Amino acid sequence: MANQGVNDPHHEPVNTGRRRFLTATTAVVGAVGAGFVAVPFIKSWSPSERAKLAGAPITVDISALEEGQRLVHEWRGQPIWIVRRSQQALQILPTLDDQLRDPMSENPEQQPAYVLGSNPELRSIKPEVSVLVGLCTHLGCSPEMKAEIRPEPFDANWKGGYFCPCHKSKFDMSGRVYEGVPAPTNLVVPPHHYVDDNTIVIGVDPQGVA
C-alpha cells in the first residue's frame, strides 16, 4: 500500500499522526527493552553506550511520501515531521515573509545553517521536503498540520501550515512562526542528511559540516 505509514491531511491528520507517533515510540521502547534484557550477557555495555542508543540517529525511507503528506517518526523523544510540500506551497512561502517573526531564520538555534542555503524561506535541503521537530516553541505541544489553503476558524486568510490550538501559535509550511502569537521562535529543524534520493538520516549532519 503506497500510503501506509503516511499521514493523509484529508483524512484525520491529527489522529493518524498520533497513531504513527505512538507506533514509532513503541518500536523504540521495544528495542530498548531488548537491550536491557541483553545486559547480563554484555557486561561491557556502559552508560555512555546506552546514552548513545537513546540519541541514536534514525533512518527514514521517504519513497512513499506523496505531495501534501507527512511522515511522523520519533528521534530523541521528539516527534519528527517529514513533509513533502507542493509547488503551490513553496510559491506561497515568500509571500508570507512580512507576517512572520523571523522570516529569514536568523536565529541560529532553530536550524542548522546548511538548510538555509540560497533560499532560506524553505528551511530545507531539498526544496519540497521539509524536516521539522514537531513541537511548538512556546510550551512544547505538538501543533496540528493544516496544509490546505483555505479559511480556517483561527485565520480567515490561512495559507497552509501548522497550528497549535492550546494558545493559538501559527507556523507556515517551513515551520516559520507568525507575528503576534505566543511561540517565540520558528520550529526547530533537526540535523539531517540524505543518504540517497529517498533516504534521510535524522540526527547526523551532512558530511563535511562541522
Q: What is the binding site for ligand FES (CB under 6 A)?
A: 136, 138-141, 164, 166-167, 169, 182-183
* DSSP class of 26: H
Q: Nearest residue to ligand FES, using CB?
A: 138
Rg, the chain, Cα only: 18
The residue among 84 and 138 lying less far from ligand FES, judged by its C-beta, is 138
Residue 130 · residue 123 · CB < 8 Å: yes
Question: Which whole-number Å values give the CA distances from 93 to 136, 141, 200, 203, in the listed order?
Answer: 19, 24, 23, 26
What are the DSSP E strand ranges found in the chain?
A: 58-61, 70-75, 78-84, 129-133, 144-146, 161-164, 169-172, 192-196, 199-202
Nearer to ligand FES, 62 or 164 (CB): 164
In the complex, least distance from residue 155 CB atom to ligand FES, rounded to whole angstroms: 14
Residue 75 CB, nearest distance to ligand FES (Å)?
19
Nearer of residues 68 and 143 to ligand FES, judged by Cβ: 143
Residue with cell 509550511: 173
What is the rounded distance in angstroms from the CA atom of residue 84 to the CA atom of residue 188? 17
Least gap, CB of 184 to ligand FES (angstroms): 9
Q: In which residue are the cell numbers 520550529 written?
A: 187
Cβ proximity to ligand FES: between 65 and 183 the closer is 183
Minimum CB distance to ligand FES smaller for 122 or for 136: 136
Residue 169 CB, shortest distance to ligand FES, in Å, is: 4
Residue 185 CB, nearest distance to ligand FES (Å)? Answer: 11
| Closer residue to ligand FES, CB minimum distance, 166 or 195 | 166
Strand order in the sheet with 70-75: 70-75, 78-84, 129-133
Shortest spacing between CB 166 and ligand FES, in angstroms:
4
Quick check: 154 and 170 in contact, CB under 8 A? yes
